[in-house]
Structure 1
Amino acid sequence: MTPTANLVLSGVSGWLSGARAAENANGPADAIARQNMLQLIHLRWIAVAGQVVTILVVHFSFGFPLPLAAMMLVLLALVVLNLLSLLRLKRVEPLGRYELFAALAIDALALTIQLYFSGGATNPFTTLYLLHVILGAVLLEARATWAIVALISFFFVALIGFNRPIIAPGLSDRAFFELYIMGMLVGLLLDAVLLVTFVGRINTNLRSHDARLAELRQREAEEAHIIRMGLLASGAAHELGTPLATLDVILGDWRRVPAIASNAELAQELEDMRGEVRRCKAIVTGVLLSAGEARSGEVRVSTLRGFMDEVVAEWRASRADAPLLYETDLRDATPIIAESTLKQGIHNILDNALEASGSALRLSAATRDGWIRIVVEDDGPGFTSEALADFGKPYNSTKGRAGSGLGLFLLVNVLRKLGGVAEAENLVGGARVSIRLPVAMLEVARHG
């Protein structure tokens, strides 16, 4: 099949499933209303096709004289209404609260006119009124549903009051009755099939809407949690700055104490302590810079290869004995933003892998089709089934320490902002965490 044919079939499938009806939606509520309107449009196409076949068969095969011109004019009006409804879905204005009601009311009116021309209240297809009532109960508010019930009741009473019986010359009463029973059977089967099909689709739309709302609420809660953590981290960094500076000054003074300066072992331990204090100060500075980057607008530019080399070099520098195998084929010199939050997220993955394994770590980075993929593997015991099921959720950890399990949570949320994803899986004798994100989200031009 050609790419053009695939594209056409994909578009048709999208419209039939309702997936593309929400393209111009203004929020989740408007999206579900548009999808439901599309279901009514589909139902109307089926109604038009079915009525064309039924009218022609009844008129020419069964010998019932029907006003073909008038009935076909009603069907033409339904076709025009469908085309106008499709154009309405293309507009960005949200659907009004009464547009679905109006669509059902017009469909009921068209059915009433067709019934009037084909036997009135004695037409066996009056059972199709129930279809409108049930769809109204599913799609509309209670008040609008009762309005549909009242409207259909009025239409049926009007058919009784202005009854236009249909005469079939040459048919006996028994033959006419048998055709009537057959018509009732067909009408009931049509009601059942259409209700199962379209109410099922509408319920699917509603479930998708509920799932989307639940996802948005969960994301809002996670982002609020991250904001609180960021404020606490920034406040803690400010508070730690003074004692760390004091420690650095005191340790510098101790270097000049004769008892320490003359003892090589003490002098070396003192230098190690000063190195750890400097590392703590660097971490605090990084926290403060990360918190202030968005406000200052100052960003640090790198390349994909340079960024990944820097991530690995910094991690190795603080963990000199860590067995990390680093592989990459990155050659792209496109300027990108050196995202400190992404760097910290990769460090968290490496730290977790080091704790789980301690003997063999592998990190690879590659690009394909505009996406960068970063993979970290270890030879540890792997993730538990619970950890895999709750991957990326806060405090999801097997370390048993208070506050643990936030590293992957922060990484998943950082990637979400960048349009990427993180996935975890178990290997035979180890585990793998994969990061994928579009390179375009890191490019300087994108942020500029």
Structure 2
Amino acid sequence: MAKTATKTPAKQSAIAIEYENSAGHKNMLQLIQLRWLAVFGQLSTILIVMFGFGIHLPLFKMLVVLICLIGFNIASHLRWHERVYVTNGELVFALLIDVFSLTAQLYFGGGTSNPFAFLYLLQVILSAVLLEAWSTWIIVAITSVCLAGLSLFSEPLPLPPNETGGLSHLYVAGFIICFILNAALLVFFITRIGRNLHARDAQLADLHQRAVEEDHIVRMGLLASGAAHELGTPLATLSVILGDWRRMPEFKKNPELLEEISEMETQLQRCKSIVSGILLSAGEARGESAVKTTINTFLNDLTKEFTSTRTIVSFGFDNQIQEDIPIVFDTALKQMVCNVLDNALEASPDWLRMEVRRQEDSLIFTVVDSGHGFDPVILSRIGEPYQSTKGRPGSGLGLFFVVNVARKLGGQVMASNREEGGAIVQLSLPLSAIML
């Protein structure tokens, strides 16, 4: 039996962590964008306060903090442009840099008497959305310590002579601006971060579904392996009997019986190839019996074998590939295409057509029939096991195997109904998966 392609729990967990880190990368990019807005906002606020309201600020010190924040953001952009996975600890570090830079600016800008101290809430809420629970509490503790420290230690903010301090109109105006800024940034960025997290959850759900399907393939592979061993002896016995019949004088003198024996031998050989094909398809996409050939030779042999072993009234084959590309194929690849053709033949025994073409770096198989088409429910669940209207136990596995083998090769399967009746199944495979 071919080696199975199932994922162990450890591998599944590793892939799940990769999806988590991938979502973290998107969130880190959101933080980098937010930091650029913070730089612009801080610079604008400093200039407005100094030249608009006539309040003297330690400009040099605040610009040094701003330059450090810009340098950190440039370094972050360069780092996360090359690396696509971000861990929880790296997100914590990035948020702490934002907290410390805000603390430094508030220290030089009046401490807790500065209404922009409420921007700490933005950091806490972002940490609650982005980080694990224990990390969020660390951010809460550090921001609380920073806020308490600012209430005790900070450079006083010199107000104009007409400002008496307390709840002055400047403080109220700053408070309103801070609230609007907090609200706008939270709505904008948490919406985008939520979209990233939703995409991550969808990817994890898809990963889980694929793991379940591949586990089913393993079980089918074991069943196929057992069936192959069990059927091997009776099929071999039948082959020997048919060979003996062909040599018997009673049959040699009867051309009709010889013709029937030839047909029985053909169907017997087909049974053997079907068992082998299912065995490989249920195991892994690339079997052990790989053969070097060219794409046109492969297609011609496949169509010749298909038409000679099936009863077809009209079969059209359109090969649009000009360049005869060297490839490596195995029984699983051939069985995958034959499964699509068999399904179409069962739905449309009078007419069937297959078109093969190259589209950029992909090989496109298009199978068209004139049957009743797919039921809308079945069409929406193509590739899931036991999705069939044939009403037989075990039916619906043909396209299930096709979809999973195509997926392992990096391809995909699409199905639709024709307006004039019948169905279209399109199988797309990357040439890199089969080319020499």
Whether these two folds match at TM > 0.5 is yes
**Aligned residue in 2 for 1:417:** 408
**Aligned residue in 2 for 1:148:** 139
Given the alignment of the two structures, is residue 432 of structure 1 paired with residue 424 of structure 2, yes or no? yes
Q: Tell whether the 8 Å contact from 1:293 to 1:299 is kept in structure 2 after alignment.
A: no
Given the alignment of the two structures, is residue 131 of structure 1 paired with residue 144 of structure 2, yes or no? no
Superposition pairs for residues 47-446 of structure 1, below 5 Å? 47-89=38-80, 95=86, 97-173=88-164, 177-255=168-246, 266=257, 268-284=259-275, 299-428=290-419, 429-444=421-436
Q: Distance in 2 between matches of 1:286 and 1:115?
A: 71
TM-score, normalised on structure 2? Answer: 0.87
Q: Which moved more, 1:196-205 or 1:172-181?
A: 172-181
Q: Distance in 1 between matches of 2:220 and 2:188?
A: 48
Q: Tell whether the 8 Å contact from 2:246 to 2:258 is kept in structure 1 after alignment.
A: yes
SS in 2 for 1:279: helix
Q: Which amino acid aligns with 2:387?
A: N
Question: Alpha carbon RMSD of aligned pairs, Å?
Answer: 2.9
Could you report, residue by residue, the CA deviation over 1:317-372 in whole angstroms, capped at 9, with x for unpaired residues?
01243321111222322211123222212211122112222232111111132222
**Aligned residue in 2 for 1:18:** none
SS in 1 for 2:122: helix
Q: Tell whether the 8 Å contact from 2:378 to 2:387 is kept in structure 1 after alignment.
A: yes
Q: Distance in 2 between matches of 1:359 and 1:294?
A: 31
Measured after TM superposition, the shift of residue 91 of structure 1 is 6.3
Q: Tell whether the 8 Å contact from 1:115 to 1:123 is kept in structure 2 after alignment.
A: yes
Does 1 or 2 have the higher relative contact order (CA < 8 Å, sep 6+)?
A: 2
Change (3 A) 1:282 1:65: closer
Measured after TM superposition, the shift of residue 179 of structure 1 is 2.4
Change (3 A) 1:300 1:117: same
Superposition pairs for residues 10-25 of structure 1, below 5 Å? none
Could you report, residue by residue, the CA deviation over 1:217-254 in whole angstroms, capped at 9, with x for unpaired residues?
22222222222222322332222222122223333444
Q: Which amino acid aligns with 2:92?
A: F
Could you report, residue by residue, the CA deviation over 1:63-121 in whole angstroms, capped at 9, with x for unpaired residues?
11111111111101111111232344256596554332232222222212212222221
* Structure 2 gaps, min length 5: 1-15
* Structure 1 gaps, min length 5: 1-24
Q: Distance in 2 between matches of 1:292 and 1:391?
A: 20
Q: Which moved more, 1:399-408 or 1:314-323?
A: 314-323
**Aligned residue in 2 for 1:14:** none
Q: Distance in 1 between matches of 2:41 and 2:272?
A: 77
SS in 2 for 1:394: coil
Change (3 A) 1:358 1:111: same
Q: Distance in 1 between matches of 2:424 and 2:207?
A: 28
TM-score, normalised on structure 1? Answer: 0.85
Measured after TM superposition, the shift of residue 291 of structure 1 is 9.1
Change (3 A) 1:144 1:269: closer
Measured after TM superposition, the shift of residue 256 of structure 1 is 5.8
**Aligned residue in 1 for 2:12:** none
Q: Tell whether the 8 Å contact from 1:241 to 1:284 is kept in structure 2 after alignment.
A: no
Q: Tell whether the 8 Å contact from 2:107 to 2:150 is kept in structure 1 after alignment.
A: yes
Measured after TM superposition, the shift of residue 48 of structure 1 is 0.6
Q: Distance in 2 between matches of 1:96 and 1:278?
A: 55
Q: Which amino acid aligns with 2:430?
A: P
Measured after TM superposition, the shift of residue 41 of structure 1 is 1.7
Q: Distance in 2 between matches of 1:358 and 1:283?
A: 20
